[in-house]
């Protein structure tokens, strides 16, 4: 099995060390696995889409704008 090395902030590392009962490598492995499953599902759902990245960006902008208005930020 390949190894992965990652950098984390000192404060986070200190907090992790306070919980030695947690197997942090398992937490990271499960989190990565879940993210990959989510991405696979997104790819499956969008595989046949004819939207371009520009279309997606415009839709996202409209949604963001509408949500901001409803929340009173605009």
- Assign 5 a pLDDT band (cuts: 50, 70, 90): very high
On whether residue 52 sits in a domain, the answer given is yes
DSSP assignments along 33-63, one per residue: HHHHHHHHHHHHHHTT----HHHHHHHHHHH
At 73, is the pLDDT very low, low, confident or very high (cuts 50, 70, 90)? confident
Domain that holds residue 49: 23-70
The tally of domains found in the chain comes to: 1
| pTM (predicted TM-score) | 0.66
Q: Is residue 54 part of a domain?
A: yes
Question: Which range has the worst mean pLDDT, 22-26, 39-43, 44-48?
Answer: 44-48
Determine the pLDDT at residue 34: 98
């Amino acid at each position: 099995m390949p190894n992965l090395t990652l950098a984390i902030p000192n404060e986070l590392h200190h907090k992790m060390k306070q919980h030695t009962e947690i197997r942090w490598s398992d937490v990271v492995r499960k989190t990565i696995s879940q993210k990959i499953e989510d991405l696979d599902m997104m790819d499956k759902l969008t595989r046949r889409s004819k939207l371009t990245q520009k279309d997606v960006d415009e839709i996202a902008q409209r949604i963001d704008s509408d949500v901001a208005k409803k929340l009173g930020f605009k």
